[in-house]
Amino acid sequence: MQKVDPPFAPGHRGPMNHSPPSKATAKQRSKARVAVIGAGMSGVLAAIEFKRAGYTNLVIYEKGASVGGTWRENTYPGICCDVPSHFYSYSFELNPEWSHRFSPGAEIRAYFEGIARRYEILPLIQFETEVQGCRFDHGRWHLALADGKTDTADFVIAATGVLHQPALPDLKGLDSFEGPAFHSARWDHNVAIEGRRLGVVGTGSSAVQIVSASVDSVQTLNLFQRTPQWITPIDNPAYQDEERAEFRKNPEAMQAIREEAAQAFTDGFANHLVDAESPVLAIIHDSCVANLESSVRDPILREKLRPDYQATCKRLVMSEGFYEAIQRPNANLITASIDQVEPEGIRTSDGELHPLDILVLATGFRVEDFVRPMQVSGRGGTLLDEVWRSGPKAYLSICVPDFPNFFMLQGPSSPVGNFSLIEVAELQVQYILELIQSLETEGPQAISVSQDAATRYESDRQKAARKTVWASGCNSWYIGKDGLPIAWPFTFDRFREEMEGPRLQDFETQSIHSAHLIEE
């Protein structure tokens, strides 16, 4: 194995080669087999960009029956994106037809479905085909599919997402409940909630949206609060016909909104999360306090809803109607811990039984899983599960030593705060493409990050993570097994800079003695 000779000074990157590929390079790209795992936002994006770059031997494996990822799986009442629609869009496909500033989930799913059709991605997707294992052997990845079939690929792009494996709470007696019980990401639309006694466990974004959308339809709504959440108000007006007509006529108007949102999220929020003492975060906290105190009239209820940690320590929940909804006469906020689930409902630690007809578990996702439960075996049989025994980690969130030509989108330590994951994915895809294209003048190669570079990055990440607001004293899904935040701990500006192109001196290459990529 030989290290890539750094063609640029340490800390600097070379420019992307935008010149037309040579005949040999074009043949390399057309022959290289690229397997994308997942057809959500990131997977569809990866397929589009790889096709644009000339990689036409593409396949996408999707465990579900359609595209959309989290927007396919989460269909609960009130589901809505907490990032403005014109920002939560592919930069190359702005959408003049968004109905609201923050669009509902079904509309977002339809957007991704439309993009997949327009860019002819659907024929590349094998739906209802789960990848159970990836094994690197003799310079290629060997994929084991759930239906018993296999495939081989030169490059694997794991676009499996973060919020896709529901986390079920360990509640005593849950199986004994006589009514329908399901996770919010597995909403049963055959169950009518109108006029029923609805119970919701959890108080994150999903629970807040469900409560706001359902309270006027049900007989009673019992919200079992595990931890109070700071709520920041949002205004979600509908776009008028005249506005959409202007967007169609003048795409620059959409671009201006997008750039304004990007700047507001970055300069007014994301760049300050790295410093728990930031004055900007203090202003956000004061705004959340004011929202609580001006919105909730009952002082007892107000104090039940008041968190004891700094706003933004957890993912900030945005809502235009939650405080109003939880004050409805048929809504009950229950703060006593759950003792057990019984056939008729939930009994709390104070001995009270809360009768329920339907139970919804809005308890989040197993965010530490990433590509799992897929089994990934790298160079020399190295198991990703073993590498991640103490918690998932990856160099710049994209790759892991000893796993050549295996790249993750939205991987460990990706920016996953309150901003557009589409921008994150677009930057990551371009980084991966540039990394792969750095191999093309050398013939068939496998590339992986060096252990030294990965160790250095992880050390810097951990040091920075201790200073972030997420480490300021609350328990959230941002916290890993080691007690440190798992999200990107640097400024978002730095993320953009890192994604400008790979430091080739941080990578190692290995020749692949095979003729499958290019013919002489």
Angle at 396 between CA 497 and CA 408, to 5 degrees: 120
Q: What is the DSSP letter of 279?
A: H
Please tell me the predicted confidence (pLDDT) of residue 481: 83
- Of residues 450, 428, 448, the one with CA closest to residue 438: 448
Q: What is the DSSP letter of 179?
A: S
In the chain, what are the domains? 20-165+366-511 (3.50.50.60), 174-230+274-361 (3.50.50.60)
* d(C-alpha 313, C-alpha 472), whole Å: 6
Please tell me the predicted confidence (pLDDT) of residue 419: 66
Q: Are 435 and 507 in contact (CB under 8 A)?
A: yes
In sequence order, the 6+-apart residues with CB closer than 8 A to the CB of 167 are 363, 364, 365, 366
Please tell me the predicted confidence (pLDDT) of residue 3: 34
Per-residue pLDDT of the chain (520 residues; tens, 9 = 90+): 333 332 222 233 333 343 445 565 888 888 899 999 999 999 999 999 999 999 999 999 999 999 999 999 999 999 999 999 999 999 999 999 999 999 999 999 999 999 999 999 999 999 999 999 999 999 999 999 999 999 999 999 999 988 778 889 999 999 999 999 999 999 999 999 999 999 999 999 999 999 999 999 999 999 999 899 999 999 999 999 999 999 999 999 999 999 999 898 888 888 888 899 999 999 999 999 999 999 999 999 999 999 999 999 998 999 989 999 999 999 999 999 999 999 999 999 999 999 999 999 999 888 777 888 899 999 999 999 999 998 999 999 999 999 999 999 999 999 987 668 999 999 999 999 999 998 876 566 899 999 999 999 999 999 999 999 999 988 888 888 888 988 899 999 999 999 999 999 999 998 875 434 433 3
Q: Which two tokens stand for residue 33?
A: 């087999």
**80-97 residue pLDDT tens:** 999 999 999 999 999 999
* d(C-alpha 478, C-alpha 489), whole Å: 11
Q: What is the pTM of this model?
A: 0.91
Please tell me the predicted confidence (pLDDT) of residue 519: 35
Q: What is the DSSP letter of 395?
A: B
* d(C-alpha 125, C-alpha 115), whole Å: 14
Residue 340 CA: distances (Å) to CA of 173, 179, 181, 310, 354: 6, 15, 14, 31, 11
